[in-house]
A and B are shown apart, each in its own frame.
Chain A
Amino acid sequence: MKRMKMVDAVIVGAGAAGAFYARHLAESGRSVAVLEAGPGWQHTDLQSSLIWARRLRWGGERVATTGEHPFGYGFNAGWGNGGAATHHYGTWLRLDESDFEMRSRFGRGRDWPFDYATLRPYYDRIQKAVGLSGDAEAEIWRPAGDPYPMPPLATFGQAEAIRRGFEAMGMHTAPMPMAINSQPYAGRAACIYDGWCDAGCPTGALYNPLVRDVPGALAAGAEIRNHASVIRVTSRNGRATGVEYADADGERCFQPESVVVLAASAVHNPAILLNSASDDWPDGLANRSGQVGRGFMTHSVAGIYGLFKEDTEPFMGVSGAQLSCRDGYGKDREQGFGSYQWLIAPAMKPNGLLGMAVTRADLYGDALHAFIRRASHHMANMLAMGEDLPDPDNRVVLGEGRDGYGRRPAKVVHRFTDDAMAVHRHAREEGLAVMRAAGADEAWAGPLGTAHMMGGTPMGSDPADSVVDGYGRSHDVPNLVLAGTGLFPTAGANNPTYTMYAVALRGVERLIDDWDAVAA
């Protein structure tokens, strides 16, 4: 095994959380090695094509997805510098105050180890650094926070058409807050509304890790090793001693360190910990609680589509959403417990998993041509995203077999709870009613989908039933830190990345302050 030079911190994964930690730690003067399973993407690689975009998705070892409602790993996972965030859509909503207090307020799920008020300053700081476009006042549902630094993005025909429907039903809409520049900001260009965000925004109008954290980390001296796939974390006397990985040539390497930051996503963080089992840690490293892998969550997705007489310009705008409606965010309702939100009028292309053709999978032949021709100018769409409560049986486990390094593959077992399914059905009906109220000639709904991955290594105050504390530090292994959306104890219904960054900022600043104690 090749032994690498000792570093202060080894970070597993150069995705959203990993690149963020790498930049901060390197800028604080620490020597940092980042091990990333995928390629070293750069902005100039990002071709505007939904076909090309597939190359940004996970290309590593197989991840099996099972259960009654299998999680869509292939679509939801990224790899290479920037991780899934390189091709994320920049829809950045804060969680609601209630999301942090699910157990105390409703007797459901878990409480976070801190409340919204504690996280608010971190949201505000991230928002200022990144630059968010939106209209805080119009968002009647938004918890307290600084106004957005930029006005909202422009809206196009399909957003205006759907807005009519919400208004007719007495519901509210507001511009969707987006981590996309509506005007030049922080040295980055303004969006030009071409709808190619799914392939990664090469201009930097959409904030992703390639914009700031990856180049910032490199500039501050961090080393990113690409095609470096981490096998396990080694440990001795209760402390992590290093990371074993397979390098680009397949050679097994050992990277010693003072601190390990696992930022390999909500699926791979638990898989790596479970693969790091040893005599001292028979159930997996840092798993005294037995919670590693448990409480994995994803959002339910209901796509609602309509065809209008008017020209809706569905190809214009951004891949995320033009408008937001969170009238359904309240948790308690007759039709099922949990929140949902509407992402209104994402830009659509003819092809791709979220494209026009897929919405009418029943059509083929000349009928499919006719539909695509009409849809290209007259379609409108929106997505309901629903909350999934943490269920210990929804989990990341290790599958059968071992690769050449003795590593077992990750397997995700998932079923939406009855409540989550009831909320999904309710949102679907509401969406169809909105589309009809908007004047659509035809309205239809797509099948149940999944978006985002959260949980599996939950934060908590009690080491007996959580994996890490509120700063992402393992309760069991003092020099092991976890980062990313896997830390979420509950998921809410809002897209997770903004919250992930706020939590990561709080975690990395504490780590820098406490470095000597943690690394000792």
Chain B
Amino acid sequence: MPLDRRTFLKGATSGAVLFTVGGVPAWLTPREARAEGADLRTLTPAQARALTAYGEVLLPGADEAGLAHYLDAQLSVDPAESLLMIRYLDVPAPWNGFYSGVAHALDALAQRRHDCPFAELSADAAHDLAGVIAGGEVADWAGPPAGFAHFVLRADAVDLVYGRPEGFDALNVPYMAHIDPEAVA
């Protein structure tokens, strides 16, 4: 179910995004949404698993910070309201096709090389495969350009882990907000 603009902004200003947990609507941060197992609106469970596993390899902590729920929430709004970095990168909206394409390519690559989906790879195998994808030249990669996929997913993970006030705290950097950002920003 797509979020309409008014609902999205209402949540945004109150500090959360509207997720549904067990059929009940709730205003949650991506971290909370993940912890409570909130429903996904746009990504399929398999896509969410692949993107989460990949994001976690790119920047450990992205999973717990709610990467899949963050991406899902941002892909569920009008592109003009989206906060994803991909908005800057001249990729035509909507971006669902990009993310589902990356998820599919991750699983297909892992399947071909290791006989399992990306999320089931060992830590070492996932790390090595992420290195191959980062290199950009992957003959058996069937999705959006591999190097670009690395760049975008990595940026999403960094946004979530370090782009928020708690990320600044972890770095011992003062956030110094004029106006406090909404929970997803």
Show the binding face of A for B, using Cβ within 8 Å: 44, 46-52, 54-55, 57, 59-60, 62-65, 70, 72-75, 192, 194-196, 201-203, 315, 349-353, 355, 357-358, 361-362, 364-366, 368-369, 372-373, 376-377
A51 to B12, CA, bound (A): 12
Q: How far is the CA of A196 from the CA of B168 in the complex (A)?
A: 14
17 A-B residue pairs with Cβ-Cβ distance under 8 Å, sorted by A, are: A47-B185, A48-B175, A48-B179, A51-B83, A54-B82, A54-B83, A54-B88, A59-B78, A64-B92, A196-B176, A351-B167, A352-B163, A353-B88, A355-B163, A364-B59, A365-B59, A366-B60
Q: A46-B179, A54-B88 are in contact. List 10 more A-B contacts (CB 8 A).
A: A47-B185, A50-B163, A51-B159, A51-B181, A55-B80, A57-B88, A70-B90, A350-B162, A357-B158, A372-B158
A373 to B169, CA, bound (A): 11
Q: Count A-B contacts at CB 8 Å.
A: 144
Q: Does the CB pair B87–A44 fall under 8 Å?
A: no
**Contact partner, B88, options A59, A74, A315, A362, Cβ 8 Å:** A74
Q: Is the CB of A57 within 8 A of B87?
A: yes
Alpha-carbon distance between A75 and B158 when the two chains are bound, in angstroms? 18
Are A196 and B177 neighbours in the complex by a CB distance under 8 Å? yes
- How long is the Cα–Cα vector from A499 to B130 in the complex, in angstroms? 46
Partner of A47, one of B61, B92, B173, B179: B179
Q: Given A55-B83, A351-B163, A44–B60 Cβ distance below 8 Å?
A: no
3 A-B pairs with least C-beta separation? A59-B80, A49-B181, A351-B163
- Most B CB within 10 A of own CB, among A47, A72, A201: A47
* Residues B162 and A351 in contact, CB atoms below 8 Å apart: yes
> Which residues from B are CB-within-8-Å of A365?
57-60, 127, 130
Most chain B CB within a 10 A radius of its CB, from A44, A357, A364: A364
**Complexed CA–CA distance, A124 and B137 (Å):** 53
Number of interface residues of B (CB under 8 A): 48
Inter-chain contact A350/B158, CB cutoff 8 Å: yes
**B23 interface residue per 8 A CB criterion:** no
Point out the residue from A48, A350, A373 that lies within 8 Å of B177, measured CB to CB.
A48
Interchain CB contact under 8 A, A376 and B171:
yes
CB < 8 Å: which of A55, A195, A362, A369 contacts B60? A369
Bound-complex Cα distance A202 to B178 (A): 7
B125 close to chain A: CB less than 8 A: no
Bound: A365/B176 CA distance, A? 28
Chain A binding surface, main DSSP class: loop
Partner pick for B178 among A196, A362, A377, CB 8 A cutoff? A196
Contacts of A315 in B (CB 8 A): 173-174
B181 A48 Cβ-Cβ under 8 A? yes
A203 to B177, CA, bound (A): 11
B162 lies within 8 A of A372 (CB):
yes
B83 to chain A, nearest CB (A): 5
How far is B100's CA from A311's CA once the two chains are assembled, in angstroms? 42
**A contact residues around B175 at 8 Å (CB):** 48
Residue of A46, A65, A75, A351 with most partner-chain B CB within 10 A: A351
List chain B residues, Cβ under 8 A from A65: 90
Binary contact track B137-153/A, C-beta < 8 Å → 1, others 0: 00000000000001100
Residues of A within 8 A of B36 (CB): none
Chain A residues within 8 Å of B150, by CB: 361, 364
Least distance between B159 CB and chain A CB atoms (Å): 5
Q: How far is the CB of B15 from chain A (nearest CB, A)?
A: 11
How many angstroms between the C-alpha atoms of A269 and B88 in the bound complex? 21
Let me know if B85 and A362 touch, CB within 8 A.
no
Cβ contact within 8 Å between B127 and A47: no
Pairwise interchain contact A46-B178, C-beta atoms closer than 8 A: yes
* Given A46-B179, A353-B88, A368-B58, also A51-B185 (CB < 8 A): yes
Provide the bound-state CA to CA distance between A201 and B177, in Å.
Answer: 11
On chain B, the residues within 8 Å of A351 by CB distance are: 155, 158-159, 162-163, 167
Give the Cβ gap from B16 to chain A, nearest Cβ, in Å. 14
Q: Which B residues are CB-close (under 8 A) to A63?
A: 90
A54–B182 CA distance with the chains assembled, in angstroms:
13
The answer, yes or no, to whether B89 is at the interface (CB within 8 Å) is yes
B115 within 8 A of A: no
A76's nearest neighbour on chain B, judged by CB, is: B88
User: Which of B164, B171, B175 counts the most chain A CB atoms within 10 A?
Assistant: B171
CA distance A44 to B150 in the complex (A): 35
Is B93's CB within 8 Å of the partner chain A? yes
Q: Are A203 and B88 in contact (CB under 8 A)?
A: no
Instruction: Give, as a whole number of angstroms, the nearest-CB distance from B75 to chain A.
Output: 14
Q: How many angstroms from the CA of A57 to the CA of B163 in the assembled complex?
A: 18
